[in-house]
Amino acid sequence: MENSRATGEGTWLKLSATQTWKSWSGMAFESVCLKHVRQIKYALGISGIYTEDSIWRYVPGKGDSGAQIDLLIDRADNCISLCEMKFSNSEFIIDKPYAEILRSKQQVFRTRTGYSKTIFTVMVTTFGTKDNIHKIGLIQNDVVLADLFRNL
């Protein structure tokens, strides 16, 4: 977007539909989320629990599956919150293929770390996650953009 020379009426709408803008907005949203981990923990009701927070990824070898966790909250209550951050202009919809990606991330994480703690998958989105058959039983908590800006 930096080198774009587009100007005039309708420019913003046109640029906001490009893949470049979508990639940028996703990365920017993740950056904002990572600067507000305290508020995420508060929204999850775990602000009083000792935690260790990080990002996590496994780079696969040949014939292996990899995974990236946007935010991992390893909790002293024998649970782990795997936070997936998604920017969207409306409620985020988990479809069947994306649900499989989330399940794969959980499996790769469990296999590669050997953790036996209870895993909770959390969606951190701009406007929440739409309730549907793919969300039920997969996503335990939703955190929305407004939660990130609550005064604590």
Q: Is the pLDDT at 109 greater than 90, yes or no?
A: yes
CA distance 46 to 40: 9
Range of the domain at 76: 11-149
Residue 91 covered by a domain: yes
The total of structural domains in the chain comes to: 1
- Which pLDDT score, from 0 to 100, does residue 18 have? 73
CATH of the domain at 144: 3.40.1350.10
How many CB atoms are closer than 10 A to CB 137? 9
CA distance 93 to 139: 12
Q: Which residue has the higher pLDDT, 20 or 132?
A: 132
Q: Is the pLDDT at 99 greater than 60, yes or no?
A: yes
- pTM attached to this predicted model: 0.86
Residue 6 covered by a domain: no
Residue 5 covered by a domain: no
* Spacing of C-alpha 11 from chain mean position: 29
pLDDT-derived band of residue 17, with 50, 70 and 90 as boundaries?
A: low
- Which pLDDT score, from 0 to 100, does residue 45 have? 97
pLDDT-derived band of residue 1, with 50, 70 and 90 as boundaries?
A: very low
Element spanning 48, H or E? none
Q: Mean pLDDT across the stretch 17-45?
A: 90
CA distance 57 to 134: 24
pLDDT-derived band of residue 10, with 50, 70 and 90 as boundaries?
A: low
Residue 37 covered by a domain: yes
